Amino acid sequence: MTAPTQSGITQATETPPSLQCSVASGWEVLTTLIACLHDAVLLVDAAQLRVVAANEAAALLFALPVQSLCGRNVVELSSTPQDLCFWIDASQGLANSTCSHTMIQRCNGETRPVARRVSRLVLEPPIEPADPLQSNAERAVYVVAFHDQTAERRVEEMLETRVAELRATLESTADGILVTDPAGHVNCCNERFAALWGITGELLARRDDQALRDRMLRSVEDPTAYTERLAAIESDATLHASDIFKLKSGKVLERVTRPQSSRGRPIGRVFSFRDITESLEACQRIEQLSHTDALTGLANRRQLRTRFEIALAMAQRENAPFAVLFLDLDRFKHINDSLGHEFGDRVLIEVSQRVQTCLRQVDTLARLGGDEFVMLAHQVDAAGAEITARRVLEAMSGPFVLDGLSFTVTCSIGISLYPSNGSNMDELLRHADKAMYSVKNGGRAGYRFHQPHKDVDLRSRMRIDHAMRQALANGRFRLNYQPQIDMLSGEVVGAEALLRWSRSELSHVLPAELISVAEESGYIVILGEWVVNQAVQQAAQWHARGMSLIIAVNVSALQFQRSNFVESVALALRQSGLPPHLLELELTESILVQDVDEALSRLGALAQLGVRMSIDDFGTGYSSLGYLKRFPIKQLKIDRSFVEGLPDNDSDAGIVKAIINLGRALHLQVIAEGVETEAQRTFLKQAGCNSYQGFLYSAALEAEELEQRMTPKQATVNGLRLIRR
């Protein structure tokens, strides 16, 4: 079992461990030696298994003074069955040494983890008197050294906990994580990574990097781009990168990669993969919503602005015009209020669909909100814009049928043109919007171009409004009368009453401007009533003096729509005594078509009174033949704009002839306004126009001037005049 050595200590023949020491200084050297050690050491009598020496470190480890340790049976200090077995074997000479991790029990009952090494040592004489082994025949001891592992265990446990936490963190991240070493070999990955890429547990367990890479490559939609990108990433150890690619499964992944380093040295690379399919779709949806109107799917104001910029750039490059049409539904509030917003929404959708059919694919239809729409028509001049506006009005004219309810929706359209009416979106929209409002004021259901002179700024409109109210109160309004002449006889058969005011500081304000301010503020109702009374009284006076002229009075939409309008006309006639057939009301087309049933009943009541009705500015509005036929009107008044080009302008000539023929077919009289030249008059007469008015004969005159202009034959006092109409 043992082999004697020269040193006097016999090493146990079994290995490990081996220990050699000089025994020159005997037992004391041995005990001094163990006293110098950091680790706890016990010397155990091999025969008795009793502790014969212990160092301070052992006393500390076992929480027992050295004296208390000495003399104890080593078995008492064991705390595991394996230890017990070892010492039993040792006592029978069956075990010499061991090296193990075990637990010791301290005297306070606490256990501690230790690394323990037991070596059998055989000592040779001479024996000193202090030698506790004197009696032992064999003189063998076990050197039992303990290394207290409590601190290491604690660190290990802490590290284990930390690793587990890191693993849990890795697993609980929403991203798929893949960590590679500098050579590109996979260090680790999480389950999310496997799930995103559809990698099986079996493939992961194989730890076959190439198979994993192949699987990933097969999953991407564009393997070539993916490979190139990955090569670029892997060729630069310091690269921070992120990119997006699509898998064949339809998933869109965002890949972010960062180099990984430890203590300043690169140790690999971390790839994180995030499924952005849904957020991408949401982004696209948000992007789409931010450009479109949620209800109708049309462009919204934001997209309109973008399209405007394109239109502007194109128009400037190609020196081409474009048109902006501002559309607002008439009385849409009524639909919303009476039938509910959900119904209103469906109307808006149908309107958007109808209007869309009137535009070319290149044009833009946008909804600004509510019932406001804007059309952007590319490479379109005034004529083109007019065609578009008419097309839209036509498309809108058909009945709407929703939930079994049949109804009509009309709209008002204002038009502005680039470049003549503005150089940017805001200016063009503002002008189209104003033009649209003037359609509304003129009775709705029509279109109108922006008219620069009408664009009087707000302050001056307020000034006009104020001055207008003062003027009526102070009697500074008066009427002038423009004679209307029968084509065949050349006699004055009527006169149009036109509003004038005597106020020097506002003398530059044209009647049309004044009327538009009054229409805007609603004051036209009062003013219009004054005009009707004034004109009727004047006509009654003339009539009483034998000058039976038909007096034509312009009526604004607001005035006509008042529920007491018919009554107020009847009252004026009664009070003045003017025979009703000598009063003619000039209405515009738009007044008549906006609420056809209402207009029909009002016109019927007026016709019942015996009053004549004529359609002013005919041709500029939008009236359908069907309506014209049903209205009890007597006369069409050809707008001045068509007369202007006569006789040379072919299209004016064509339109004028068409209106005259239309009048004839519908048994209506036709009068032309704005006749300034003999050539115009001749053309009109040959075309069959019944009468005319214009500067050729006379501008609007003061009442007395008109009387003087009448031929003596016409001005017969008390004589009856035959009116040829």
Q: Where does this chain bind ligand C2E (CB under 6 A)? A: 482, 498-499, 510-512, 515, 528, 531, 554-556, 586, 616-617, 640, 673-676, 693-695, 700
Measured from the CB of residue 513, what is the shortest distance to ligand C2E in angstroms? 9
Residues paired with residue 499 on neighbouring β-strands, in sequence order: 479
Residue 98 binding partner per list Mg ion, ligand C2E, none, with a CB distance cut-off of 5 to 8 Å that depends on partner kind? none
Phi then psi dihedrals of residue 525, to 5 deg:
-65, -45
**Is residue 480 within the footprint of Mg ion (CB under 5 A)?**
no
Q: Which is nearer to ligand C2E, 548 or 554 (CB)?
A: 554
C-beta of 528: minimal distance to ligand C2E in Å?
6
- Residue 584 within binding range of Mg ion, rule CB under 5 A: no
Nearer to ligand C2E, 175 or 519 (CB): 519
Q: Choose between 249 and 641: whose C-beta lies nearer to Mg ion.
A: 641
- Nearest CB to Mg ion, comparing residues 433 and 673: 673
Contact window for Mg ion (CB under 5 A) among 134-142, 301-309, 581-589, 703-711: 581-589
Q: What are the CA-CA distances from residue 477 to residues 411, 462, 472, 575 (Å)?
A: 34, 18, 6, 21
Nearer to ligand C2E, 375 or 603 (CB): 603
DSSP codes of every residue in 644-663:
HTTTT-HHHHHHHHHHHHHH
For 535, residues 6+ apart whose C-beta sits below 8 A from its C-beta are: 479, 497, 551, 553, 583
Residue 300 interacts with, from ligand C2E, Mg ion, none (CB under 5-8 Å by kind): none
From ligand C2E, Mg ion, none, which one binds at residue 585 (CB under 5 to 8 Å depending on kind)?
none
- Nearer Cβ to ligand C2E, position 218 or 478? 478
Site for Mg ion in 610-649 (CB under 5 A): 616-617
Residue closer to ligand C2E by CB (options 180, 559) is 559
Using rule CB under 5 A, residue 586 touches Mg ion: yes
Interaxial angle between packed helices 511-521 and 458-473, expressed in degrees from 0 to 180 and rounded to the nearest 10: 90
Least CB distance from residue 586 to Mg ion, whole Å? 4
Mark the segment that binds Mg ion (CB under 5 A) among 92-100, 225-233, 565-573, 666-674. 666-674
Residue 50 DSSP symbol? B
- Compare residues 50 and 637 and give the one whose CB is closer to Mg ion: 637
DSSP characters over 623-646: --HHHHHHS---EEEE-HHHHHTT
**Beta carbon of residue 460, minimum distance to Mg ion (angstroms, whole number):** 24
The size of the chain, in residues, is 725
How far out from the chain centre does Cα 270 lie?
A: 36
Give the span between the Cα atoms of 33 and 478, in whole angstroms.
136
Say if CB 691 and CB 484 are below 8 A apart.
yes
Is 595 one of the binding residues for Mg ion (CB under 5 A)?
no
User: 568, 530 in Cβ contact below 8 A?
Assistant: no
Cα–Cα distance, 638 to 661 (Å, whole number): 12
Q: Which does 272 bind (CB under 5 to 8 A by kind): Mg ion, ligand C2E, none?
A: none
Q: What are the beta bridge partners of residue 247?
A: 220
Q: Least distance (Å) from ligand C2E to the CB of residue 541? A: 18
CA distance 268 to 233: 12
Find which of Mg ion, ligand C2E, none residue 528 binds, CB within 5 to 8 Å per kind.
ligand C2E
Write down the least CB distance from residue 700 to ligand C2E, Å: 5
- Shortest CB 451 distance to ligand C2E, Å: 12
Give least dist CB 287 to Mg ion, A. 51
Query: Which CB sits closer to ligand C2E, 44 or 485?
Result: 485
Burial 385-402 (b: 16+ CB within 10 A, else e): bbebbeebbebbbeebee
Asked whether position 589 contacts Mg ion by CB under 5 A, the answer is: no
Number of chain residues interacting with Mg ion (CB under 5 A)? 5
Integer Cα distance of 672 and 374 in angstroms:
35
**Contacting Mg ion within 46-105 (CB under 5 A):** none
Check: CB of residue 537 under 8 Å from CB of residue 567: no
Q: Which is nearer to ligand C2E, 77 or 671 (CB)?
A: 671
Q: What per-residue string of b and e applies to 189-211 under the rule 16 or more CB within 10 Å gives b?
A: bbebbbebbebeeebbeeeeeee
**Cα(607)–Cα(701) distance, rounded to whole angstroms?**
29
CB of 699 to ligand C2E, least distance (A): 6
By CB under 5 A, the residues from 531 to 570 that bind Mg ion are 554
Cβ-based nearer residue to Mg ion, 131 or 589: 589
CB of 695 to ligand C2E, least distance (A): 4
Answer with the entry of Mg ion, ligand C2E, none that 439 interacts with (C-beta below 5 to 8 A by kind): none
Contacts of residue 516, defined as CB under 8 A and 6 or more positions apart, other chains included, come to 438, 441, 454
Q: Which two tokens stand for residue 63?
A: 């929480």
| Helix, coil or strand: residue 360 | coil
Q: Which residues bind Mg ion (CB under 5 A)?
A: 554, 586, 616-617, 673
